[in-house]
């Protein structure tokens, strides 16, 4: 489980997590010379999302996509996640809860990996702290 608290109301953290134009501003830990051209979110049960990042000469790209299984604004999301170039057809199940107390919102991200190969693969989870730092910075500009 990954947790992080933000100095922002839950409704604002929810928006930053679910609106494509905001997601692109914080979920964007990549080397210089890379872009985030695709950020599609169909936020409903059975809706899909797809993110793609690529380097400037388009010689390499990576993407992640999945399906929303439960959408309960602004308290909970449950979705699948699979990296586009993953050799496995296994999906990780992700549940994110948003809890507000005294103007602070804590997110808890539960990851249910389909296998140890998926768990130990080259995932974004290794850079999640940097992404959450960028999210905190973004939230401070949105209030």
> How high is the pLDDT of residue 123?
53
Ordered by where they begin, the domains of the chain are 2-142 (3.30.530.20)
- Dihedral Cα 15, 17, 19, 25, nearest 10 deg: 110
* More confidently predicted of 107 and 63: 107
CB atoms within 10 A of CB 51: 22
pLDDT, mean of residues 118-123: 55
pLDDT, mean of residues 9-24: 96
> Would the pLDDT of 37 be above 80?
yes
pLDDT, mean of residues 62-90: 88
3-class SS string, 41-63? ECCCCCCEEEEEEEECCCCCEEE
pTM: 0.87
% of the chain surpassing 90 pLDDT = 55
* Residue 91 neighbours by CB under 8 Å, 6+ apart: 66, 80, 81, 82, 114
Q: How far apart are CA 23 and CA 135, in angstroms?
A: 9
Closest CA to 128 of 104, 103, 111, 105: 111
> How high is the pLDDT of residue 54?
86
> How high is the pLDDT of residue 74?
98
pLDDT, mean of residues 94-114: 94
> Would the pLDDT of 120 be above 60?
no
Side-chain-side CA neighbours of 86 within 13 Å: the count stands at 23
Q: Which two tokens stand for residue 141?
A: 């500009």
> How high is the pLDDT of residue 88?
63
């Amino acid at each position: 489980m990954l947790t992080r608290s933000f100095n922002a109301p839950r409704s604002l953290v929810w928006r930053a997590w679910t609106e494509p134009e905001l997601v692109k501003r914080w979920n964007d830990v990549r080397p210089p010379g890379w872009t985030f051209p695709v950020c599609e979110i169909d936020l409903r049960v059975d809706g899909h999302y797809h993110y793609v990042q690529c380097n400037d000469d388009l010689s390499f790209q990576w993407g992640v996509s999945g399906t929303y299984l439960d959408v309960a604004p602004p308290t909970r999301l449950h979705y699948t996640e699979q990296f586009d170039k993953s050799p496995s057809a296994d999906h990780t199940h992700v549940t994110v809860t948003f809890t507000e107390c005294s103007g602070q919102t804590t997110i808890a991200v539960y990851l249910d990996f389909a296998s140890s190969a998926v768990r130990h693969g080259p995932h974004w989870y290794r850079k999640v702290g940097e992404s959450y730092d960028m999210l905190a910075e973004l939230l401070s500009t949105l209030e």
